[in-house]
């Protein structure tokens, strides 16, 4: 896994330790770095090359979108690094002596089902559940860009939703908070700790049929507005079938 900072890129792997922390294998200072697409050069889809002052690294993203996100942010970071006071290699080396990533926590390995599993009980979830952003990016093979962070900060919402559990026919009314790329499910808005959380990185959101949804909304709305307003509404929204 790669981590982009304001003056360096770290490349890591999942460590074979009891806590499954990430182990840093190397660093690529951004000062003097150039970046270029190299799919044709290496015959690997979505490949690009990071050319540093001392070494070059060829990497490949999982998709074209992922490659574009990485290249855009790396280019921006390279430009910002040009105006800084130079690489902080000594400080970075001292901070990496324990081989831990800045955002990583001591978490147990979990499968994708574990991450998205529903808590059917009301007990407080374990503080070691691996729903940190680093953990989710690793399991879902995805990345978070600077633009993604900006959008996440600007979009937060909370309210009551009905949630259906995988192994049950019933629905449960929960207080749901959307923040930091995740849905957090609470029994009520007064609770301090969520019953469960669902990171949305790598997910897509759709409705079964947009046409059916709009038709239901149109018909139900016509019955809930005053009759005069309903006639105007029907004239504006009616369309041939």
Q: Per residue in 142-158, pLDDT tens?
A: 888 888 888 888 888 99
CA distance 216 to 159: 22
| Cβ atoms of residues 25 and 13 within 8 Å | yes
Sorted by where each starts, the structural domains of the chain and their CATH numbers stand as 2-95 (2.30.29.30), 112-199 (2.30.29), 209-241 (no CATH)
Q: Per residue in 78-96, pLDDT tens?
A: 999 888 766 554 444 444 4
Contacts of 87 (CB under 8 A, 6+ apart): 7, 8, 29, 30, 31, 81
Q: Which residues of the chain have pLDDT under 70?
A: 15-20, 85-131, 225-241
């Amino acid at each position: 896994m790669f981590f982009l900072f304001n003056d360096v890129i770290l490349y890591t792997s999942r460590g074979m330790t009891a806590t499954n922390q990430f182990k840093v294998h190397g660093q690529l200072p951004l000062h003097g770095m150039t970046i270029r697409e190299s799919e044709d050069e290496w015959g690997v889809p979505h490949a690009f090359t990071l050319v540093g002052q001392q070494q070059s690294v060829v990497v490949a993203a999982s998709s074209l979108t992922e490659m574009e996100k990485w290249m855009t942010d790396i280019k921006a970071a390279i430009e910002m690094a040009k105006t800084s006071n130079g690489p902080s290699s000594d400080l970075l080396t001292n901070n990496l002596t324990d081989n831990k990533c800045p955002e990583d926590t001591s978490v147990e390995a979990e499968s994708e089902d574990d991450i998205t599993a529903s808590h059917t009980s009301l007990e407080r979830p374990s503080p070691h559940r691996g729903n940190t952003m680093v953990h989710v990016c690793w399991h879902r093979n995805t990345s978070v860009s600077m633009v993604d962070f900006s959008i996440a900060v600007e979009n937060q919402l909370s309210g009551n939703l009905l949630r259906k559990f995988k192994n049950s026919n019933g629905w449960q009314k929960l207080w749901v908070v959307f923040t930091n790329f995740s849905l957090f499910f609470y029994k009520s808005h007064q609770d301090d700790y969520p019953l469960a959380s669902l990171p949305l990185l790598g997910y897509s959101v759709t409705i079964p049929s947009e046409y059916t949804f709009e038709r239901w909304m149109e018909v139900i709305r016509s019955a809930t507005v005053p009759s005069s307003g309903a006639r105007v509404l029907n004239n504006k929204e009616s369309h041939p079938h």
